[in-house]
Structure 1
């Protein structure tokens, strides 16, 4: 079984540079999230993998932090008002401008502690053991902008470091559910994503 302490100890022995100990994630408070409803659950165990999603929102050329916040509010409204969930389903969102924001309340605090998981609502059967990253945009036949790709690589590396997730455990939504998500174009890049995340530890 993969063990975070063993993973980090091995990196130390081989003098491997680590990803940044901190990564700039904008909190729910920063983007003026609605208060969550009842039912947000936290489990005292580490997540086992990362699931990559796309939000199917328009591929806008507004790469500002204001747009990242607007997108986060749009997702939360959709998930709460249409899906009937107590909060955003994903743990984090990654904007086309490369800004990572907290999705479900408590996800950022859990990440800082590195010893717990907020139960999400992004993939049945994976919500209590996988971190969901919602990437702004629709990636069926186009790739994410470079800034978004770079932040996805860096943030996945940060998650792997904080939680001790093997870089081989980065998947697409469709690996666990019959769905188009995260789009054919982005899904085809997952081997590259794993490779580039692994390179962050070299």
Structure 2
């Protein structure tokens, strides 16, 4: 689950920084940007806020510059076996209610959500239009690092449970699309929530698969 905005800042792991240095690009804020143009990954189907009937934000969403890291989260919710689009909409409403009503945020904290059935949905207001314009929106998904990151929630709890194939495959496509939009090297830019904050998110199982996620995204970008 995304951390409350009051969490203390955690230092990025040295491993993450070294990963960026080893990527062979130009270092910028710990991220090695590709030195050559990558294959343009297409945008996956993303269900808009209007489609899943989002509540309006309490105040205006701030559009900011492009991020330098993609943060992988899990929702820490039940590992449901209903993989339908209707179930995806339900979890998105659950996240929004939690973030707005319990956490007191202006809206849903993360920019994107992927359901266990592999459906990609828009999170915080203006996220999709901002991504398409090479920008981002200020979220509330990674405490003290929201100004330079974009967050993807993945439905479920992955401390011991396996990650569903459909969810992981959509994460690959989504990260490849974001890396294309923001000209990011996946080996340096894709990180787990725990790399920044004191949290178990995105769970030990999902976190252990981040190297695979980075490699598969890189393969997409190589065409």
Please say whether Structure 1 and Structure 2 have the same fold, judged by a TM-score greater than 0.5.
yes
Calculate the aligned-residue CA RMSD, in Å: 1.6
Which deviations, in whole Å up to 9, do the C-alpha atoms of 1:45-101 show, x marking residues without a partner?
211010000001100011111111111110000000000001000000000010000
Which deviations, in whole Å up to 9, do the C-alpha atoms of 1:148-186 show, x marking residues without a partner?
000001100000001112212100000000101000100
Q: 1:105 corresponds to which residue?
A: 125
| Alpha-carbon distance, 1:18 to partner | 3.1
| Alpha-carbon distance, 1:125 to partner | 1.8
Which whole-Å CA distance do the structure 2 matches of 1:57 and 1:156 have between them?
A: 22
Which deviations, in whole Å up to 9, do the C-alpha atoms of 1:121-142 show, x marking residues without a partner?
0011211111100000000001
Alignment partner of 1:126 out of 126, 145, 151: 145
1:10 equivalent in alignment to 2:30: no
Q: 1:57 corresponds to which residue?
A: 77
Contact 1:62 1:97 in 2 (8 A): yes
Q: 2:210 corresponds to which residue?
A: 190
Which deviations, in whole Å up to 9, do the C-alpha atoms of 1:9-65 show, x marking residues without a partner?
823xxxx64322x3211111110000111152112x211010000001100011111
Q: 2:136 corresponds to which residue?
A: 117
Alignment partner of 1:91 out of 108, 111, 133: 111
Where do 1:150-165 residues align within 5 Å?
150-165=169-184
TM-score norm. by structure 1 comes to 0.90
Partner SS for 2:70: strand
Partner SS for 2:49: coil
TM-score norm. by structure 2 comes to 0.82
Which whole-Å CA distance do the structure 2 matches of 1:201 and 1:133 have between them?
A: 19
Partner SS for 2:221: coil
Which whole-Å CA distance do the structure 2 matches of 1:164 and 1:65 have between them?
A: 30
Q: 2:163 corresponds to which residue?
A: 144
Q: Which runs of 5+ in 2 are unaligned?
A: 1-25
Partner SS for 1:101: strand
1:75 equivalent in alignment to 2:101: no
Contact 1:57 1:136 in 2 (8 A): yes
Q: 1:178 corresponds to which residue?
A: 198
Number of residues of Structure 1 aligned to a counterpart in Structure 2: 192
4+ runs of 1 displaced by more than 2 Å? none
